[in-house]
Amino acid sequence: MNLTAEDLRRAMQRGEFSFHYQPKVSFLSGRVEGAEALIRWRLPDGTLVPPNDFIPLVEAEGMIAEVTRHMFPRLLDDLARIHAERGEDRLAFNISAIELDDPGLIHLVREAIESRRLLGPHLEIEITEGVAVSRQAIIVRRLTELLETGVSLAMDDYGTGFSSLETLSRLPFSALKLDQSFVTRMLHSAKAATMVRTSIAMAQLLGIRSVMEGVETEQAYRMLLHYGCSEAQGYWISPPLALTEYLDFRGHDQVWPCSPIGMLRMAQLTHAWQYKLLVDTLFAYLEHPDNPGAIPRHLHMSHQECALGDWYHGLGQALSGDPDFDSLDRPHRRMHDLCGEMLDATRRQASRDVIRALMTDLAEQSNALSSSLQRLETRLLFEELRELG
Ligand code: C2E
Ligand code: MG
Ligand code: MG
C-alpha cells in the first residue's frame, strides 16, 4: 500500500477510521468486563483495511500522534454509549511506544479525566514496543503520571520483539498480554504451554493481571482457565465487532465457563512465595540488624489486596458456609497481618526472641493456608468433573 500524509488526512476528514471492539472475558466471573478497541480503515469502496497494513506506514510518516488525537475522542464517545446502554466496561486503547516521545496522549487522557468525560478505571492503554524505550526516564515518569489517574497500562505482545523482561521490569505495567503466538502453540507444544504458565505466574508474583489473546478454540480457553490467568480474548469468544454489533453482543449477557481453580492454584504459589520472601527478609535482618537490605516491594500487607482476598470477599462469597472455604479466612488474614508486624519488628529492632515467635506463627499460618487451599482446589476439581459428566 502506497500511503501519503495527504491520503491519511483525507481519510480522517472523511471519517473513514473507526474502532471495532473485541470482548475480554474474566475467567473468574465468566462475563465480558471490557473490550479492546482495534482501529479499522473503511475505504470509500467499502474495503476494510486492517491496522497492520497502515499503522506501520502512519508511524513511518511521523503521523501516529495525529491519528491518536483524531481517534481518542471517538473512543470516548463510544465508551459513553457503551456505559449508557450496557455496563461499566473498560476499553483498551492501543498505542505504539514511539508515541510516548510526545506528551500529547497523556494530555488527552488527563484532559478527559479532568473534564469528567473519563474515569481512570474505564481505560486501559496497551503498549506495543516497536523500539526500545524503557530506558528513557522521561517515559517512565509519564507512564507513572498516567497510572496515578487510575488508568491501567498493559504490555502488549509480551515475549516478542522489544516487549521483553527488561521493559516489563522498568515500566509500571498493571497487566501483561502474552503474544498470541504462545497461546496458539501451547496446544501442541509442552514448551510453549510452560511459557504460558510461567508468564501467568510471573504476572501474579508482580501483582498484575494476565490477559491471553488469540483464544481460538474451546480447548485453549479451558486450558487457560485452569492456568490461573485473569482474562481471555479471541475468536472463540468473539471477533472484533463494530460498535452496534458489540452493543448487541453485550445485550445477550452471555456467561462463558469460569472457575476459581486457576486462581486458587496461583494463590498457593504467591502465598508460598510471600512466605519465603518474608523469611529471607527476617534472616537478613538477624544477620545484619543495622542494615537488613531492601524490604520486598511486592509484599501485600492487606489480605484484601491480593487476588485471593479479592475473590474471597467478592465472588467467592457464593461458597460461604462451606468448611473448606471458610477455613481460608483466618490463616490468610493472619499471614498478611504478620507481614506488617514483621516489618514493623525489624524497624524497631526487636529482639531475636520476638522475631523467632513471629516466624513460628508465620510458618504455622502458611501451612494452614496452603492445606486449606489444596483441599478446596481438589474438591472443586471433583465437582467440575462431575458436572462435565
Ligand atoms: P494487538 O493489539 O495485539 O491486537 C490483537 C490482534 O489480534 C487484532 O488484530 C485482533 O483482531 C487479532 N485477533 C483477535 N483474536 C484473535 C484470534 O483468536 N486469533 C488470531 N489469529 N487473531 C486474533 P488487528 O485488529 O488486525 O490489529 C493488529 C495490531 O494493530 C494490533 O495488535 C495493534 O498492535 C495494532 N493496532 C490496532 N489498533 C490500533 C490503534 O488504534 N493504534 C495503534 N497504534 N495500533 C493499533
Ligand atoms: Mg492490543
Ligand atoms: Mg497483542
> pLDDT tens digits for 353-371?
999 999 999 999 999 999 9
Residue 134, ligand 1, Cβ within 6 A: no
Tens of pLDDT, residues 240-254: 999 999 999 999 999
Torsion of CA 110, 113, 118, 124, to 10 degrees: 40
Nearest ligand, measured from the Cα of 52: 1
23 touches 246 (CB < 8 A): yes
| Segment among 7-11, 25-29, 175-179, 260-264 with least mean pLDDT | 7-11
- Nearest ligand 1 atom, CA 93: 41
Question: Is any ligand 1 atom within 6 A of the Cβ of residue 124?
Answer: no
Element (DSSP H or E) covering residue 63: none
Whether 51 lines ligand 1, by a CB cut-off of 6 Å, is yes
Q: Boundaries of CATH 3.20.20.450 in the chain?
A: 5-258
Q: Which atom of ligand 1 is nearest to the CA of 215?
A: 18
Binning pLDDT at 50, 70 and 90, where does residue 130 land? low
Ligand 2 centroid–CA 126 distance in Å is: 5
Mean pLDDT, the chain, whole residue set: 91
Segment 110-139 shows an average pLDDT of: 85
According to the per-residue pLDDT averaged within each range, which of 44-58, 125-139, 289-303 is highest? 44-58
pLDDT greater than 90 at residue 342: no
Mean of pLDDT values over 208-225? 96
Alpha-carbon torsion 42, 46, 50, 55, what sign? negative
Q: pLDDT-based confidence at 135, cuts 50/70/90?
A: low
Ligand 1 contact, 129 CB (< 6 A): no
**Distance separating alpha carbons of residues 181 and 203, to the nearest angstrom:** 18
CA distance 164 to 250: 34
Give the residue, by CA position, lying nearest to ligand 1 atom 25: 38
Cα-to-centroid distance, 38 and ligand 1 (Å): 6
Q: Among 20, 24, 25, 38, which residue has the most ligand 1 atoms within 8 Å of its CB, making it the best to mutate?
A: 38
Is the CB of residue 128 below 6 angstroms from any atom belonging to ligand 1? yes
Phi, psi of 298 (to 5 degrees): -95, 15
DSSP 351: -
The pLDDT of residue 23: 98
Closest CA to 307 of 319, 297, 315: 315
Q: Kindly report the protein residue whose alpha carbon is nearest to atom 37 of ligand 1.
A: 38
What pLDDT band is residue 141 in, cutting at 50, 70 and 90?
confident
Q: Which CATH number fits domain 5-258: 3.90.600.10, 1.20.20.10, 3.20.20.450, 3.40.228.10?
A: 3.20.20.450
Cell of 304: 484484601
CA 27 – ligand 2 centroid, Å: 19
In this prediction, residue 247 carries a pLDDT of 98
Which residue would you say has higher pLDDT here, 191 or 342? 191
The 10s digit of each residue's pLDDT in 2-48 is 778 888 899 999 999 999 999 999 999 999 999 999 999 999 999 99
- Lowest-pLDDT range of 186-195, 229-238, 257-266, 267-276: 267-276
Q: What's the pLDDT at 389?
A: 79
Q: Whose CA is nearest to atom 15 of ligand 1?
A: 234
Distance 51 CA to ligand 2 centre (A): 11
Could you give the angle at which helices 323-347 and 352-388 cross, rounded to 10 degrees?
Answer: 150
pLDDT the model gives residue 12? 94
Q: Report residue 383 as a C-alpha cell.
A: 465437582
pLDDT at 302: 80
| pLDDT interval class at 133 (50, 70, 90) | low
- What is the third-level CATH fold of 263-387? Four Helix Bundle (Hemerythrin (Met), subunit A) (1.20.120)
pLDDT recorded at residue 246: 98
pLDDT tens-digit profile of 47-71? 999 999 999 889 888 889 899 999 9
Considering only CA atoms, which residue is closest to atom 44 of ligand 1? Answer: 95
